Structure 1
Amino acid sequence: MPVVPSEFRASTHELPPRSRRLFGKWWRRQSPARQDRFATLGPLVSVLMFLAAIISAFWYLRSEELEREHESVKRDTEVTQQQIRLRLIENQEQLVRIAREITTRAVDQDEFLGQATTFARERPEVVSLTWLAADRAPRVSYLSPSHTFNGSRYSEAPEGASAPLPGPAVTKSEPEWAFEAARDLRQPVYSRTYSTSNGQPVFQVQVPLIDRSAFAGTVVAEYSVEALLRYFVPTEVANRHGMTLLDANDRVLASTTSRAMLKNSERPSIFQDIPVAPVGNGLILRGLGYRTSIGLISNTLFWMVAALSALTVWMLLGTWRHMRRRLQVQSALVAETNFRRAMENSMLTGMRAMDLEGRITYVNAAYCSMTGFSEAELIGKLPPFPHWPPDRMEENRRLFEQELQGRSPAGGIEVKVMRKDGTQFDARMYVSPLIDAKGHQTGWMTSMTNITEAKRIRDQLSASHERFTTVLEGLEAAVSVLSVQQSELLFANRSYRLWFGADARGHGLLAGDHPDDEIPVHDGDDSVDNLSGLPTQELTEAGSDPREVYIESLDKWFDVRARYLQWTDGRLAQMLIATDITARRRAEEQAAQQAEKAQVTSRLVTMGEMASSVAHELNQPLTAITNYCNGIISRVQSNAIQTPDLVTALEKTAKQAQRAGQIIHRIRAFVKRSEPQRQPSQAHEIVEDAVELAMIELRRRNVAIHTYVAQRLPVLMVDPILIEQVLLNLLKNAAEAIDNAKLPPPRRNIELRIIPRHTPEEGGVIEFSVTDSGPGLKEEVLGRMYEAFFSTKSDGLGIGLSLCRSIVESHRGRIRAENLYNGHSVVGCRFSFTLPVDTTHSSNH
C-alpha cells in the first residue's frame, strides 16, 4: 500500500468529509508510478502559483505608480499650457491696442518705438516688435536687447524680425505666410515656428492694421520659443517634471531638461502632449515624467522570492530525477549499443580487425561495401586476402608483415585494393593496436579510406599550379613575395629576376624601403603598426593604394600594388606586383609641357584680342605726355613759365609716364612665360591684378564692374598668374556677352564676388564668382563649353574655358556655370570656381 505524502494529507484535511472520501478513492485507484508523479508535481505547482502571485502583486503596484505619475504629468502640463496661453492672449490684446492707435493716427513712428520698448522690456519672451506697411516694408522695428544667440547680438539684423518676402507658394516663408493670412482674414495670425539665421526657434504673431476697411500693414511681434518656456513654466512644475516644446515634425524646439538627455534617451514612457493655444500650427507642449521607484527586475525582494522558489523547484525536480535514474540507465545501455552499431554501419571508412596471427575477426559494412566482398567471405581469412590484386601480391605481403610487426608509418600506407568485380581503387590504410581491458594487445585494427578522388584532385592541383607558375613567369610585370619576419624572398617571376636578380633588395626598393635598412621603419604612419611592422587593416584586403616608384638604377617608373597573404607554410608574406609605367610617365610629362604652353598661348591670345583696347588705354597717357612736353617747350622758349609751374607740369608728365609704364608692366607680367609656381597668395591681390587688366577691355565696351572681396580671407596655395588668367578670361567673356547683346547702360554691369564657403564635399574653400546680365548660355552650350576647340564665337579658338577648367582642377578646385532666371526668362549667367584653403598658412595667419 503506497504511503500518501504529508503535503497531500494536509491538503485533504482542508476538504469537506465527502470530498475527502472521493479523493481517497481516486488516489487509491492510481498506480504507484502515477502517485509518485502526482506527489512530485503537487508541490511544484504550488511553488509556481506562489511565484505567479508575487509577480502579479509587483505588477499591480507598478501599474498604480505609473497611473499616478501620468496624472501628475497631465496636471502639470495643463497648468503650464494655461500660463503660456494667458500670457499670449494678454500680449495679443496689447498688440491689438497698439494697432488700433496706429490706424487712428494716434501713434507715430517715434511713439510706436517708445511703446515697443516698454512692451518688450516687460515681456522677456518678445524678441522684436516691427511695424510693417502694406507692401511688407518695415516702418519701425525694435529688437529686444536681452536676446543673444551663440554669443552674438540678435539685433545685428537691421530689419528687425524676419521680414516676409513674396515668392512661390512652395518656398513661401513662415513670416510671408502669416502676413498674407493676416491680410486676408483681418485678424491676428500666429505663424508656424521657424529658425533664425542663428538656428534659434521663433514664431510670429501678426496683427493687421485696418484703416477705413483697407489693409494698411501689420504689427509683428516675434517670440522666442526658448524664452517662452523658460519664463512661464512654474518652478514647482519644472522641479517635478520636464517640459518640452515641439513642432509639427516632433522636433524639440526648447526644453527644461538638457539636450543631451533628450538626445541620448528614448521617449519616456510617461508623457502628455497638449497643443499650445492660441498659437496652434503644430506647436505642442509635452510634459515628461520618469519613474522614481525601482522596477520589478531591480527589486531585491522579488529576486529573493524567485531564488527560493527556484531552489524549491530544483530540489523537487532532483528528487523526481533520482526516482527515474535506474530506468534511464537501463534505456541508455540499450540505446548506446544500438547507436554504436548504427555508427559502424554508417561510416564511410572501412574498419577491419585482425588477431595477432593476421586472421580477420571483424569488418564493418563500409569495408564490405568498398571491397564488394560480404562479411562471411572475409571473416576468418588469412593472407593472401581476396581483395589483394594478383600483380601486387609480393608488395602487399611485405606491407602486411610490416603491419603485424607494428612498424607501419603514422601517416598511413597507400595501397591498391581490388574489388570483387576486378576493378581497383587507391586506398590509404592506418593501423593501430587493439588493447583489451587488462592492457594486453589482442590484435590490430585497420581503417581504410578510398583516396581515388582525392588523388585525382591532387594531380589536378599540381597541374594547375604548374600552369599558374607558367602564367606568372610570362607576365611582363614583376611579381615577388617576401617573408615579413625573415625578410626572405619566397617567390620571384622572370621579369623580377631580369630587373633585380634573385635578391630581396629589389622587393624593398619597390616597397619604398631604404636599401640600407634591414627592417623598414614607419614612424607616424597610421596604416602600419609600429610594434610589429604589419598593416593595421585586415590582411585579407588589398594592402595600400597603388603607388608609383622610381628605381634610379634602372631609370624606370613602376606602378606597385601590394597585399599581405599567408604563405603555404603559414608564414605571413608580402606580395608586390610592379608594372613598368615609364612610357606613361613620359607621356604625362609631355602632356604637362603642352598644357603649360597652352596656358602661355591663351594669355597671348587674350592680349591679342585686347590689343585695340590696350592701344587706346596707352594712347591717353602718351597723348597727355606729348601735350605737357609741347606746352613746356613753348612756354620755356617764350620765357613765360615760372619754376613752380614747370615743376608741376613735369610732375604731371612723370605721373602719366608712370601710368603708361604700369600698364605695360602688367601686360608683360601677365604674358611672360614662367614655370608654374604655387605660393601662398592673397585673394584680394589676385583680384586687383586681374581687374586692373580687365578694366582695359571693360572701359572699351562701356561695361561697369562691381567687386566684393570678403575681409580676412584665408591664404591660398596657388599660382597667382594662372588664377589671374582664369579671372581675366571669365571677365572678358562676360563683357563680350553684354556688349554683343546690345544691352542698355543700366544693365551693362558685371559683379565679381570672392567669399569663403564650406561644403561637405570640398571642405573649406574660397569661391570666385563672375555674374553678368547677358543673354545666358544655351543648354547645348552648357554641356560642351569645356570641350577643347569648341567655341560659340566665330573668331574664337575654343581653348579659353577648357584651359580655365584645367587650371582650376589642377589646383584641386571645381568650376561651374549656370543661367540666372527671373521666372522663365534668362536674365544673366554666373561662372564660379572654388579653390581649397591652405590650412597650414591660414593657421599661421
Structure 2
Amino acid sequence: MGNCCKPSHTLPPMSVPPSHQTPGQGLAAAEVRKPWRAWWRRQAPHRQDRFAALAPLVAVVLFLAAIASSFLYLRLEEIDREQEAVKRDVEYAQQQIRLRLLERQEQLMRVARDAANEEIDVEEFVSRAQSLISQYPELQAVSWIDERRRIKTSYAAPSLHTPLMRMVDDVLRPGETETNFSLARDLHQPVYGQPLGTAGDPTPLLQLHIPLTDRGRFAGVVLAEYGTDALLRHGVPAEVLNKYAVALVASDGRMLAGTVMPPSTSGSRLLPWSSQAEPYEIPVSPVGNGLVLRAQAYRTSQGVVGSGLFWLVGALSVLTAWMLIGSWSHTRKRQQAQQALMAETNFRRAMENSMLTGMRAMDLQGRITYVNAAFCQMTGWSEGELVGRTAPFPYWPEEDLEYLIARLEDELNGRSTPSGFQLRIKRRDGSIFDARLYISPLIDAVGKQTGWMASITDITEPNRIREQLSASYERFTTVLEALDAAVSVAPLGSPELLFANKLYRQWFGSQTHGHESLVARAGMPSMPPNDEHLDDVDAYAGLPTDSLTTSDAESAEIHVAELGKWLEVRARYLSWVDGRLVQMVIATDITPRRLAEEQAAHHAERAQTSSRLITMGEMASSVAHELNQPLAAITNYCNGMVSRLNGNGIAHEDLLAALEKTSRQAQRAGQIIHRIQSFVKRSEPKRSLSNVQDIVQESVELAGIELRRRNVRLSHYVAARLPPLMVDPILIEQVLVNLLRNAAEAIDSAQRPPQRRNIELRVLPRQEADVPGIEFAVTDTGTGLAPEVMEHLFEAFFSTKAHGMGIGLNLCRSIVESHMGRMQAENIYNGSECMGCRFSFWIPLAKAANALPNPANAAKTPGVPA
C-alpha cells in the first residue's frame, strides 16, 4: 500500500535495471525500505490482510480518478467554448429583435400622433394599420382605444385567432391589458405589456400601448399586438435558428414561441459530463423582463459519458474493486446487520416499556397475544398472566361484564368507532379507574390482518378535572344569575347574544335589543364601521388598541324610561372563548342613589342659603353701621331743610341741591339693602356667562362693610380683558365674601398694627395642566395656619373660631369644585417668620370647562344639578 501511494521515483530498486543504478541510488532505496518493513512487521495478521485487500482497490480508484479528471477537464473546456458561442449569437439575435421592435414602435407612434392631432380619421387609421400589418408579418392587430377604454376601431391580420380579435365599441378586458392601459395613461410613454394567452393558446400576443396626447390631455392609446411566433421567425437571423433551439419565454416561464430541447438523459445540465449545452437567456429590449429570449445549442457530441473508452475503463475498475471487496464486505455486512437488529429490538422494547399508554394486542379469535409494561402497571397483572387469556378478562369488573362483552363483540367484528369508548378497569387489588380504549386493525408485514391492537389511557384525572370545571361553571352561573346587575355579552358586528343573566332577561328579554340600547344610550361604540367604500379605514377603528386585560372599562349613567330606572352602564371589551372580540355590558340600578343625590343637593342648596344668612347675621352690626351713615345724612338734610323753610331762609336752588343729596343718600341705603337681599335670598343655582369684574365689584362692596368695621384696608387688582366665566355669580360672590371676611378676622385676631392691616385680592389668568382659567387669590397679613389646622381646613364642622360652625370653607371648596375648579391654602413666609396666609381658587374658562371630565361627586356638590 505504501508503494502505490509514493511517487514514481520511489519504486523498488528492481524496477530499475542494474546497469543504470548508481551506488547512491541503491543506498537511498535500502534506507526507504527499512522503515516500511519495520512498520509492516509490527501490524497484526488481520490488519495485514486488510491492507493487502485495500491496496489493489486504492490503485484502481486512483487510476479511475486520473482518467475521469482528464475527461472532465476536456469536457469543461468544450462547454466553455459552446457557452461563449451561444451567448454571442443570442445577443446578436436580441439586437435584431430590438431593432425590429423599435422600428415598429416609431411607425406606430407616428400613427398615434396623427390620430391624437385628428389628422387622420377612423378609415385612414384602418388603412394605415392594414398597410403596417401586411408589410410586417409580426404585427397581428392594431386598435384605436379612447380614454374610456372603448375600442373606436381595430384591424387584425386574417391569421389572428378569432377569440383574440377586438370589436368596435367593446371595452378592454380586465386584467393585464387594463393595467398596461392605466400605466400608459399615467406615464404618457409607450408601455409593453406581458404576453397574453395561455399554454393552450396557439397565438400568444405581445402588446404595445402608445398613449394619445391631445394638447397635454390623455385621449386614449393605440394598442399594437405582436405575434410572438412571427416575431421570432422574422426577427432572429436564420443562421441562429439553424444552430440553436431558440424560444421566446414569458416572465412566468411560459414558452410563447420557438422550440425547446428535450431534457437531457444524462442528468442535470449543470454536470460537466452532460452532452446537452446550458441554455442562455437574455431579456428582449425594450420589452424588459416580461419577454426573454432563450437559446440552447443542439447536441453536437456524445460527451464524456458517451465515450466508449470512459465506460471501458470504468467497467474494468468497478469489476476489479467489486471482486476485491466482495468477500471482505460480506462478513462485515452480516455483523452490522446483526448489531443493527439487536439495537432496533432493544430500542423498540425500551420505547414500549417507557410508554404511559397501555398497549394490548389480540388475535382474530379474541385471545390476548401481547401486552406492554404500561398495561401491566395499569392493571396490576403480569404479562404471563394475561397473554393467552380469553374473555372474560381478569381486569373486567363483574358489574360491567355484559357491557364489556358486547363491546368486545363489536371490536372483533370491526364495528368500533375511531374515537374509542370509555370503560372501567379493575386493578388486581380491586380498585377501579376510568380508561378510554381505542381500537385499530393489526396488519402484518405482507398486509394481512392478524388481529386487533388496542391502546388504553387512564382518564381518571381528566374526568375529575372535567367534573370540577362543570361544578365551577355552575357556581359561576349561579353567582351571575343572583347579581343585582344586568350582565350581557354580545360580539361586535353580530346580532347574537352570547350571555345574559336573570336580571337582564327580566328587563329586556333574551334578545340583543336591550344590550344595543344600553350601549347606544351610553354613547359607547358597539360595532366597528362597515363602510365598504372606505377601503383604507380600519374595520375596528375606535376600539381599544391596548391589551384587553388592561383597557379601562367605560361607564355612564342613563335613564331608561320604559323601566322607570336610572342605570349605571359599564362596558369593556373581552376576547371570547372562541377568539371573537365581544363587548360585556353591566347595568346596575342606581335609582335610589340618584334620589339620594338629588335630596343631598337640595339640602346643600339650603345650607348655602343658611351660610349666607349666617354671614349676614355676623355682619349685622357692620351693616347697621353702614346703613346708619346714609340714614343720618338723610335726617340731617331733612332737618336742615325744615329749619330753613320755617325761617324762609332757603333759596329754590339750595332746596333742590339739598333734595338731590338726600336722594343720593337714600339710593345708597337702598343699594346696600338690595345687595344684601340679593346675596341672602334663596334661588335655584343658575350658571351663565358672567363678567369677572362685576363679580369682584359686588363681592368687594359686600365685604367692605365688615372690612371697614374692623379697620382693614383692601387692595384689589383684576387683570384687563378677562374672558367671561360660565358660573353662578352669587355662589362665586359667596366664596369671595367668605374668604375676605376670614382674612379680616385673621388680621383682627392677630392684632396687627394699622400699617399691617392689609388684604390683597388679585384676579389673574392662569393655566393649570394646560387648561386655561382664572385664579382668584386673597392674601392676608395674619399669623397663618398651623400644620395640624392645614390638614383639616376644608373638612366639614371643623373651625378655628370660638363660635364658628365649620361649614364656610367646606361649602366654598364644594362650590369651586362644582365649577370644575380647584381651591387651596398656603402660608406665606419671610424666612422663618409667617407673614400671612393665601387662599386661592381657580375656575376654568367656559370652553375648557366643557372639555373637562365631570367629577364623580358633581351630583353631590351643593348648588349643582346632577
Secondary structure of the corresponding residue to residue 828 of structure 1: strand
1:307 matched residue in structure 2: none
Aligned to 2:356, what secondary structure does the other structure show? coil
Residue 495 of structure 2 is aligned to residue 493 of structure 1: no
SS of the residue 2:416 aligns to: coil
Which moves more between the two structures, 466-475 or 672-681? 466-475
CA distance in 2 between counterparts of 1:747 and 1:840 reads: 39
- For the structure 1 residues 555 and 674, does the alpha-carbon distance in structure 2 shift closer, same or farther, using more than 3 Å as the test? same
Q: CA deviation at 1:449?
A: 0.6
In the aligned structure 1, how far is the partner of 2:375 from the partner of 2:447?
Answer: 27
The equivalent position to 1:347 in structure 2, one of 347, 355, 366, is: 355
User: Residues 479 and 575 of structure 1 are in contact (CA less than 8 Å); yes or no, is this contact kept in structure 2?
Assistant: yes
The match for 1:406 is 414
User: How far is the alpha carbon of 1:387 from its aligned partner?
Assistant: 2.4
1:601: Cα distance to partner? 1.0
Counterpart selection for 2:701 from 687, 692, 698 = 692
Q: How does 1:412-431 map to 2 (within 5 A)?
A: 412-431=420-439
User: What CA distance in whole angstroms lies between the structure 2 residues aligned with 1:602 and 1:332?
Assistant: 104
Mapped to 2, the partners of 1:674 and 1:663 lie a distance apart of 19
Inter-partner Cα distance in structure 2 for 1:414 and 1:377: 24
Counterparts of 1:842 and 1:628, CA distance in 2: 54
Alignment of 1:744 with 2:753, yes or no, is yes
In the TM superposition, 1:378-777 aligns within 5 A as 378-435=386-443, 441-513=449-521, 531=540, 535-541=544-550, 544-566=553-575, 572-631=581-640, 648-760=657-769, 763-777=771-785
Q: 1:385 to 1:397 in 2, by over 3 A?
A: same
- 1:281 match: none
What does residue range 369-380 of structure 1 map to in structure 2 within 5 Å?
369-380=377-388
The residue type equivalent to 1:452 in the other structure is: T
Distance 1:556 1:514 in 2: 14
In the TM superposition, residue 800 of structure 1 has moved relative to its aligned partner by 1.0
User: Distance in 1 between the 2:693 and 2:372 partners?
Assistant: 95
Partner secondary structure for residue 821 of structure 1: strand
What's the counterpart of residue 69 of structure 1? Answer: none
Corresponding position: 1:366 with 2:374: yes
Structure 1 SS opposite 2:677: helix
Counterpart residue identity of residue 411, structure 2: E
Provide the C-alpha distance between the structure 2 equivalents of 1:4 and 1:764, rounded to a whole number of angstroms: 98
Q: Whole-Å Cα distance in 2 between the matches of residues 518 and 833 of structure 1? A: 40
| Alpha-carbon displacement from aligned partner over 1:336-367 (angstroms, at most 9, x marks no partner) | 76554433222211122334444434322211
The 1-side partners of 2:752 and 2:416 are apart by: 106
Supply the distance in 2 between the matched residues of 1:842 and 1:448 (Cα, whole angstroms): 70
CA-to-partner distance for each residue in 1:139-162, whole Å, 9 max, x for gaps? xxxxxxxxxxxxxxxxxxxxxxxx
For 1:823 and 1:360, the matched residues in 2 are separated by 102
Q: Structure 1 residues 766 and 334, CA, compared in 2 at 3 Å: closer, same or farther?
A: farther
The AA in structure 1 aligned to 2:459 is I
SS in 2 for 1:489: coil
**What is the CA deviation profile of residues 627-660 of structure 1, one whole-angstrom value per residue up to 9, with x for unaligned ones?**
4455556656766666655555454444434433
The SS at the match of 1:388 is coil
Can you list the C-alpha shifts for 1:799-825, whole angstroms capped at 9, x where unaligned? 211211221222233322233333433
8 A Cα contact 1:482 1:489, kept in partner: yes
State which structure, 1 or 2, has the greater radius of gyration over its C-alpha atoms. Answer: 2
* Cα distance in structure 2, aligned partners of 1:769 and 1:719: 19
**Under a length normalisation based on structure 1, what TM-score does the superposition of the two structures give?**
0.55
Structure-1 separation of matches of 2:444 and 2:687:
90
Q: Which residue in the other structure is 2:153 paired with?
A: none
Pick one of 825, 836, 841 that aligns with 1:817.
825
Whole-angstrom distance in 2 between the partners of 1:695 and 1:573: 63
8 Å contact from structure 1 (residues 485, 572) kept in 2 = no
| Residues 476 and 841 of structure 1, relative CA distance in 2, 3 Å threshold | closer
Per-residue CA deviations over 1:451-475 (Å, capped at 9, x if unaligned) read 1222223233333333333333333
Question: CA-to-partner distance for each residue in 1:753-783, whole Å, 9 max, x for gaps?
Answer: 22333455x8544332211111223344333
What is the rounded CA distance, in whole Å, between the counterparts of 1:336 and 1:765 in structure 2?
87
Structure 2 letter corresponding to 1:757 = R
Give, in angstroms, the shift of residue 695 of structure 1: 1.3
Within 2, Cα distance between the matches of 1:677 and 1:530?
44
- Unpaired segments ≥5 residues, structure 1: 7-16, 34-325
Instruction: Tell me, in whole angstroms, the C-alpha distance in 1 between the residues paired with 2:624 and 2:748.
Output: 19
Structure 2 counterpart of 1:827: 835
| Counterparts in 2 of 1:585 and 1:449: CA distance versus 1, 3 Å | same
In structure 1, what is the equivalent of residue 106 of structure 2? none
Q: Measured at CA, do residues 332 and 577 of structure 1 come closer, stay the same or move farther in structure 2, by a change above 3 Å?
A: farther
Cα separation, partners in 2 of 1:355 and 1:715, compared to 1, 3 Å: farther
- From 783, 786, 808, the counterpart of 1:800: 808
Q: Hey, what's the Cα distance between the residues in 2 that align with 1:377 and 1:706?
A: 111
Distance 1:438 1:758, change over 3 A: farther
1:427 match: secondary structure: strand
- CA drift of 1:673 comes to 1.8
Q: CA separation in 1, counterparts of 2:759 and 2:661? A: 32
Whole-Å separation in 1 of the counterparts to 2:635 and 2:563? 66
> CA RMSD of the aligned region, Å?
4.3
Q: 1:438 to 1:390 in 2, by over 3 A?
A: same
In structure 2, relative to structure 1, the CA distance for the partners of 1:393 and 1:629 (3 Å cut) is same
Residues 437 and 637 of structure 1, relative CA distance in 2, 3 Å threshold: farther
Q: Tell me which residue corresponds to 1:114.
A: none
| TM-score, structure 2 normalization | 0.54
Deviation at 1:841, TM superposition (A): 8.7
The 1-side partners of 2:6 and 2:400 are apart by 77
> Does the Cα contact within 8 Å between 2:492 and 2:526 map onto a contact in 1?
no
Deviations 1:564-597 (A, max 9, x none): 4455566554433333222222111111111111
State the AA in 2 paired with 1:416: R
CA–CA distance in structure 2, aligned partners of residues 592 and 472 of structure 1: 34
Helix, strand or coil at the partner of 1:550: strand
How many positions carry a matched residue from both structures? Answer: 530
Alpha-carbon offset, residue 729 of structure 1: 0.3
